[in-house]
């Protein structure tokens, strides 16, 4: 099917919220990784979200161009074309745009979507994340609210974050030395986010933090407190009535225990970012190929190697694509979105 329309995207999020499941949000940086994400969703009959960061956009444009906007547009166009060959709904999203890149990454992409909508087409991306969580909350929302107002006019969603996700992920706001108290969003901050966003005629997603950290970490090194999400949802209902509700996002999901992933679904998480685990699955397959086929890849001791089964990139990239697609499938199972496409 084609990429989800704004209405279909809203229906996806509502279905997940009502059905207590969430969509894996898979970061891609190339046609191969995009194809892996699409195949993984389709294999599990799950709708899903494919996302592009500033770093991925720059990488996708190649060393000779190095332009994050051009690369993001190219990846989005590729996903738009390939998604039409599958029977699940896919939403396109940009991930972790920091304040410093709003003008040179986010705004050009919004402008591209505005041009497309004016021509009777869908927006290029369904949604964008502004990661201003390293700013005071007022400054964060002063930046995000006008962007949300603009995006809502063409049917786009925004994702905002309050509280800092630890670790580092492609320029994300967190760092290894993030103070522990900043890793947990307070109910008061969640109420303020809702207050500032509630009067805009649109849909948004909110990444509240509950101790989550980007990347892999050793057991016991991270203290997840999913009940923070529950308490925040209850706080906005108490303030604004039973219809008040966040579409919540879980960042730094790779390596999290399944029981805690499932617990967050009870509190309104409808999207979980899965990047590190997919990167590992992709690279692990290539490493395996290199170890097993070393003498075919390298021209050892005057040999000629083996182009067909050794060093032709298509050989090992096919394996990497399948390995990453399989990991996307695991995420669908973990988040209980498998078999629940609304397409």
pLDDT at 108 over 80: yes
CA 157, 246, 45, 71: dihedral to nearest 10 degrees? Answer: 30
Of 47, 95, 189, 334, the active-site residue reads 95
Alpha helices in 89-163 (DSSP H): 107-118, 137-152
- Tell me which fold the domain 6-287+324-334 belongs to: TIM Barrel (3.20.20)
pLDDT at 307 over 90: yes
139, two tokens: 């400054």
Per-residue confidence at 290, pLDDT binned at 50, 70, 90? very high
Q: Identify the residue whose tokens are 């190649």.
A: 62
Q: Does an H or E element contain 272, and which? A: strand 269-274
User: Any idea which of 5-14, 94-103, 213-222 has the lowest mean pLDDT?
Assistant: 213-222
The reported pLDDT for the residue numbered 80 is 97
Environment class of residue 302 by beta-carbon count within 10 Å: exposed (0-12), middle (13-18) or buried (19+)?
exposed
Q: What are the tens digits of pLDDT across the range 228-260?
A: 999 999 999 999 999 999 999 998 766 678 888
Q: What percent of the chain has pLDDT over 70?
A: 90
95 carries an active-site annotation: yes
Cα–Cα dist 208/193, whole Å: 10
Q: What are the tens digits of pLDDT across the range 320-340?
A: 999 999 999 999 999 999 999
Say if residues 94 and 112 touch (Cβ distance below 8 Å).
no
Q: What are the tens digits of pLDDT across the range 192-224?
A: 999 999 999 999 999 998 877 655 555 444 578
pTM of this structure? 0.92
């Amino acid at each position: 099917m084609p990429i989800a329309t704004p209405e279909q995207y809203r229906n996806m999020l509502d279905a997940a919220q009502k059905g207590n499941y969430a969509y894996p949000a898979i970061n891609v940086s190339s046609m191969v990784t995009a194809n892996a994400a699409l195949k993984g969703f389709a294999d599990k009959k799950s709708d899903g979200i494919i996302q592009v960061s500033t770093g991925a956009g720059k990488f996708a444009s190649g060393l000779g161009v190095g332009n994050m906007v051009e690369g993001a547009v190219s990846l989005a166009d590729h996903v738009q074309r390939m998604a039409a060959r599958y029977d699940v709904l896919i939403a396109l999203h940009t991930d972790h745009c920091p304040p410093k890149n709003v003008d040179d990454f986010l705004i050009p992409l919004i402008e591209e979507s505005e041009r497309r909508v004016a021509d009777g087409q869908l927006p290029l991306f369904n949604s964008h994340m502004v990661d201003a969580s390293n700013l005071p909350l007022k400054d964060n929302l002063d930046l995000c609210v006008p962007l949300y107002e603009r995006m809502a006019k063409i049917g786009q969603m925004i994702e905002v974050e309050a509280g800092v996700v630890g670790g580092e992920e492609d320029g994300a706001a967190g760092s290894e030395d993030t103070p522990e108290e900043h890793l947990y969003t307070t109910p008061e901050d969640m109420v303020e986010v809702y207050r500032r966003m509630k009067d805009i005629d649109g849909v948004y997603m909110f990444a509240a933090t509950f101790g989550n950290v980007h990347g892999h970490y050793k057991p016991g090194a991270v203290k997840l407190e999913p009940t923070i999400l529950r308490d925040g949802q209850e706080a906005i209902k108490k303030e604004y009535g039973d219809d008040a509700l966040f579409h919540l996002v879980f960042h730094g999901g790779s390596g999290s225990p399944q029981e805690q992933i499932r617990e967050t679904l009870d509190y309104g998480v409808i999207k979980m970012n899965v990047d590190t685990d997919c990167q590992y699955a992709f690279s692990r397959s290539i490493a395996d190929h290199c170890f097993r086929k070393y003498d075919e890849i390298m021209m050892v001791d005057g040999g000629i190697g083996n182009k067909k089964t050794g060093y032709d990139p298509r050989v090992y990239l096919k394996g990497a694509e399948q390995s990453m697609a399989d990991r996307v499938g695991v995420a669908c199972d973990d988040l209980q979105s498998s078999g629940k496409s609304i397409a």
